């Protein structure tokens, strides 16, 4: 595998680049406490919750909900498990589904509607839900609304049908012209296709590195360019304008679903108020989802070449941190970056939050 041209190097960078729950156990409050009761009913008591699908068809569900005495776990209209303020349970015997959803219903406050973040498709390895995260003020990012992915050129007919059933309505392709030409997207029926080329086709930022250190630096420089580069600002502005206008069924992707896509998700989650450590965990999850593909790619190379190539396949904290550092250096604050680089004004940000947050 050789990648010596500048255009291919840019491609390498890219390739290397809740719905409301249920309220249960509500008590009748005295009129003097009606306001407090209404707030309590809207409040989501969960500080952590996650669904993980296992290869054997079972599901692991974990949660933490301080102050809650009982949590019912519901699926397909029936209670399948229950627990207390903290829980870690395994659910088996559910019928096959495109995506299995669970409602976590506490004895007070609002519940959560969750599924495994990964969408399993034959033609992708890193297609996942952008939501399912808690914000600093206790709200949660809805799942089943916005998605992120790697390249879509290998989607099967069954994959396309599944995405159509999941409601994918718009596909934002963040790749270069050469990437799109060499591996054109397969788009689900009825979905709108939008080109939002982040890197651009004439960038002189990238040159194929010859050492692992240079490769890591290329990734750092590339992350910074995704913040302040003219083509990047235009591309991300288009994506976020579209999500603000109509978030339902939005999908953005690049080649590996980790760099250009990673910054899109980091920006979205940060704008919604998700804490930095959670944003970082979402970014670094590409290492887990792409582990087998990356290992196979490196195993096919001579050891010396693999050592240089590995930083291009990784996502690393230093890469994402360089993007946030560029935001601070060029714009002073993330709010200023949202407004000046992405064109998201306070009114649009409120609309985005009203669409994507619950609680």
Active site residues: 254
Three-state secondary structure of 149-162 = ECCCCCCCHHHHHH
- Residue 294: name the closest of 345, 238, 255, 343 by CA: 255
Tokens of 325: 């550092």
Paired strand residues for 81: 73
Distance, in Å, from the CA atom of 206 to the CA atom of 248, rounded to the nearest integer, reads 35
* 3-state secondary structure (DSSP) of residue 64: strand
Cβ atoms of 298 and 313 within 8 Å: the answer is yes
Phi, psi torsion values for 181, nearest 5 degrees: -70, -40
Distance, in Å, from the CA atom of 231 to the CA atom of 357, rounded to the nearest integer, reads 29
Long-range contacts of 49-54 (CB under 8 A, 24+ apart): 49/104, 49/112, 49/114, 50/114, 50/132, 51/100, 51/102, 51/114, 51/115, 51/116, 51/117, 52/116, 53/100, 53/116, 53/118, 53/120
Cβ atoms of 77 and 110 within 8 Å: the answer is no
| Number of other CB atoms surrounding residue 41 within 10 Å | 13
Cβ atoms of 54 and 60 within 8 Å: the answer is yes
- Residue 125: name the closest of 162, 157, 165, 154 by CA: 154
């Amino acid at each position: 595998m050789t990648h010596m041209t500048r255009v291919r190097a840019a491609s390498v960078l890219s390739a290397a680049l809740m719905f409301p729950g249920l309220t249960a156990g509500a008590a009748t409050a005295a009129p003097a406490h009606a306001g407090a009761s209404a707030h309590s009913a809207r409040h989501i008591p969960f500080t952590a919750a996650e669904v993980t699908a296992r290869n054997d068809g079972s599901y692991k569900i974990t949660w933490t909900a301080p102050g809650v005495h009982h949590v019912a776990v519901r699926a397909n209209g029936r209670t399948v498990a229950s627990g207390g303020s903290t829980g870690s349970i395994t659910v088996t015997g559910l019928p096959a589904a495109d995506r299995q959803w669970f409602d976590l219903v506490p004895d007070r406050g609002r519940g959560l509607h969750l599924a495994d973040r990964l969408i399993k498709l034959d033609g992708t390895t890193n297609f996942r839900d952008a939501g399912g995260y808690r914000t600093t003020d206790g709200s949660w990012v809805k799942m089943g609304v916005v998605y992120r992915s790697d390249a879509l050129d290998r989607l099967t007919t069954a994959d396309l049908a599944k995405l159509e059933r999941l409601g994918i309505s718009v596909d934002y392709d963040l790749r270069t012209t050469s990437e799109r030409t060499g591996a054109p997207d397969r788009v689900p029926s009825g979905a709108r296709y939008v080109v939002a080329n982040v890197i651009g086709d004439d960038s002189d930022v990238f040159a194929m590195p010859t050492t692992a250190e240079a490769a890591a630096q290329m990734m750092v420089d590339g992350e910074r360019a995704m913040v302040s580069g003219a083509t990047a600002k235009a591309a991300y502005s288009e994506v976020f304008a579209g999500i603000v206008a109509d978030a339902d069924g939005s999908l953005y992707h690049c080649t590996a679903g980790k760099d250009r896509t990673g910054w899109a998700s980091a920006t979205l989650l940060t704008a919604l108020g998700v804490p930095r450590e959670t944003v970082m965990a979402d970014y670094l999850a590409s290492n887990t989802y792409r582990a087998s593909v990356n290992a196979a790619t490196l195993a096919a190379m001579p050891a010396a070449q693999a050592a240089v190539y590995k930083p291009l396949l990784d996502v690393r904290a230093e890469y994402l941190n360089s993007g946030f550092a560029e935001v601070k250096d060029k714009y002073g604050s993330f709010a200023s970056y949202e407004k000046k680089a992405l064109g998201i004004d306070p009114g649009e940000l409120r609309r985005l939050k009203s669409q994507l947050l619950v609680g």
